[in-house]
Amino acid sequence: MATDNKLSMVVFSGDMDKVMAAFIIATGAAASGMDVTMFFTFWGLKAIQKDSSLTGKGLFGRMLGLMNRGGIDTIGPSRFNFGGMGRWMMKTMMRSKNVASLRELRDMAIEMGVKIMPCQMSMDVLEIGTDKMLPQATAPVGVAAFIEEASHSKATMFI
Amino acid sequence: MATDNKLSMVVFSGDMDKVMAAFIIATGAAASGMDVTMFFTFWGLKAIQKDSSLTGKGLFGRMLGLMNRGGIDTIGPSRFNFGGMGRWMMKTMMRSKNVASLRELRDMAIEMGVKIMPCQMSMDVLEIGTDKMLPQATAPVGVAAFIEEASHSKATMFI
Amino acid sequence: MATDNKLSMVVFSGDMDKVMAAFIIATGAAASGMDVTMFFTFWGLKAIQKDSSLTGKGLFGRMLGLMNRGGIDTIGPSRFNFGGMGRWMMKTMMRSKNVASLRELRDMAIEMGVKIMPCQMSMDVLEIGTDKMLPQATAPVGVAAFIEEASHSKATMFI
């Protein structure tokens, strides 16, 4: 098993700043000519859902879907959120510095060929249907598919 | 120094969802035939302690032990905890989807031969004695032992 | 592109315990003879700023600078902070166990030749000038510079 010129990431976090860091690293690596694979699991799944999709069928699934509703634009940072203030503040600061938004970064990553893998088990537990995922994502996969990618990669990160 | 077919992880977090992700990745990699080493440090140590073990001798050590008491079943998720509600909700959802519990995943990892290394320095600072650790864990080790594992690994993650 | 005997880290977190873990791993790897590169981004930048530096020019930049003021000694842990109590408690426990302080660990890392890279984009967004950075840091760099380091490394971590 040779090492490919590849970078693999587990995107576990649903915090805006961490997801943003993940996409900045992904687009940076893709721009340097690397293959990039992102495996979205747990809270990270929100970043690759279609907009405003309410998810969940059972009571708990619906509760989680409600707390997590909205697409990538409603994700808050890991610090200083203050009920949405932090998100708005960070967005405003980033825009004034000409940094791409989270949505733009994600779309750029997809255009650059970054592979987007949703975690099947997390989708089951959080009751998120395949129809709620971005069409550019691969079919949902198990952890073995990610391990396979990581074992050929030059670098692997858990974010 | 050749690369072995190995995966190394630092488990720093004590959040139920992150520890669960760590054990899912560990068992997935072990099932794919990889050697797996997990180095438990700081809050992650809770996941490999014996059940209901109160730890600490000095005032602060006892306070931390009290806040952190209970074994692997009392770990809460990184989001939506609401004083234990989140843990119960996640457990119920996972059970209804036939996902193994944190305890089952940990025991499965141990049975599959995943190497469990406790961090000596964290045990000293948090005042957790060697007798409080699972018997399947290795003797407590310093960071150099983990670095040695990581430097031979195909992938390394900090969780 | 051959692999060097190198360890690369993204230090994204500004939590005392995570930054401490990062420096402990860095000094441990350097002591084992590895080259170590740390790329400080987002909240992690605080750990390599000069002491008591108030940063930011616009309203938001100044607000963030105020919330984040002080140097490496004012960083709190990711858990049990209680308005500074947690930081004091952890410091006291670490001191009583003869564990080096965060500042000592950082200075040790620098003395051992660990490469300290500040993220240009984060400095722009958070309005932190180059003059606020430790003189031992490299000039601010983009993510491509970090990717280059990571792609030659034996292990890469996101902290």
Q: Name the residue ranges covered by the structural domains of chain A.
A: 6-158
- Cβ contact A42–B24 (<8 Å): no
User: Residue with structure tokens 């510095």?
Assistant: A97
Res. C39 pLDDT band, cuts 50 70 90: very high
Residue ranges of B 109-138 with Cβ closer than 8 A to chain C:
121, 124-127
ipTM topping 0.90: no
Angle at the Cα of B129 (from B125 to B135), degrees rounded to 5?
130
Q: Is B77 touching C (CB cutoff 8 A)?
A: no
The span from the CA of B9 to the CA of A159, in Å, is 13
Joined together, the tokens standing for residue C83 give 């308005």
Q: Give the contacts of A28 (CB within 8 A, at least 6 positions apart).
A: C142, C143, C144, C146, C147
Q: Is C145 touching B (CB cutoff 8 A)?
A: no
Neighbouring chains to A with at least 3 Cβ pairs closer than 8 Å: B, C
Nearest CB among C41, C124, C146 relative to A97 is that of C124
pLDDT 10s digits, A72-103: 776 777 765 555 556 666 677 777 777 778 88
Residues C66, C71, C76, C82, CA torsion sign = negative
The span from the CA of B116 to the CA of B124, in Å, is 18
A116 neighbors A110 (Cβ within 8 angstroms): yes
Q: Which of A154, A153, A125 is nearest to A140 (CA)?
A: A125
**Domain range B6-158, CATH architecture:** 3-Layer(aba) Sandwich (3.40)
Residue of C119, C125, C127 for testing the chain A interface, max A β-carbons within 10 Å: C125
User: Residue with structure tokens 């995966």?
Assistant: B7
pLDDT 10s digits, A108-140: 999 999 999 999 999 998 888 999 999 999 999
Res. A146 pLDDT band, cuts 50 70 90: very high
* Helix (H) or strand (E) segment spanning residue C37: strand C35-40
Distances (CA, A) of C130 to A14, A40, B130, C32, C134: 30, 35, 46, 31, 9
